[in-house]
Amino acid sequence: MVRATRCFNKLPCCGSKGLTVKGFLFDLDGTLVDTAIDMLHALKLLAQENNIEIEPNHAQYKELITHGSRAIVESIFGKTDQQTFLKLQKRYLEIYQDILTQGSCLFDGVEGFIQALDKQKIPWGIVTNKPHYLAKPLVKSLKPLENYGILVGGDSTKFSKPHPQPINTAIQMLKINPKKSWYIGDALSDITAGNAANMQTAVALWGYIGANDSPEKWQATKTIQQPLELFKL
């Protein structure tokens, strides 16, 4: 177990003609960074504001993170009318924004791999469904990630993953050849988007994968048990 230390049709991507550089793109939550502590603490605080006492179990709730704030909020409040849900979601994100750097940290092995990419001048970036206004300060708080080439948030493009548009945007900005590059993520939406963008894809099995998920069926190029295995790529 990795410990944390402080379907769309294939759309043409940017076109690989003239692009020879290899690179790496990563999902954020559950791939590079363990954000579960802060995200679940924000849920606990939201519940308390509504006179609900919970103690979110890390192992039980972390798989919700892959599915975003809707799944997190509904895990406590269930299905509500749209107005009520939007109010709860807005408040949850406000709480989370205030604490998002308190306990989040890189997974073991990530720092060494990122340092190796930087040393070899291999371009890399982050493509996440986390809103950019939350992703940017989180990444900024983690010094080993300071040399990222591009950060694409869930609200940075018209579509978010599993649509390939965010990854295609990163490919264009980094000027990398998708067929020679890797997208690493811990969710089906990551692999679907990466495949649709004509990248090689790898499942981060240390991430927020649910008990009912079947990553071996996601049609990824590889599955990886721990970040140290990234060096094999």
- State the catalytic residues: 27
Written as six digits, the tokens of 92 are 């949850």
Beta-sheet pairing, 124-127 with 33-34: unpaired
In the block, which residue shows the tokens 């890399």?
A: 124
Backbone angles phi, psi at 91, to 5 degrees: -65, -40
Whole-number Å distance between alpha carbons of 112 and 121 = 14
CA–centroid distance for 70 within its chain? 16
Written as six digits, the tokens of 74 are 């509904």
Whole-number Å distance between alpha carbons of 85 and 71 = 11
